[in-house]
Amino acid sequence: MSRPSRTRAEKLARFHLHAVIAVSTEDR
């Protein structure tokens, strides 16, 4: 737990990616 910032950034990026993919799939 030296860099919690990295974990938080990765988690946010993953969540955003999932949301974008979900929206793209629903839009199709």
1-28 pLDDT, tens digit per residue, is 567 677 888 999 999 999 999 998 886 6
- How far, CA to CA in Å, does 21 sit from each of 4, 8, 13? 26, 20, 12
| Residue 22 CB burial class (10 angstroms; 0-12, 13-18, ≥19) | exposed
The predicted structure's pLDDT at residue 10: 92
What's the rounded Cα separation, in Å, for the pair 23 and 8? 22
Domain count, the chain: 1
Q: Which domain holds residue 2?
A: 1-27
Global pTM reads 0.53
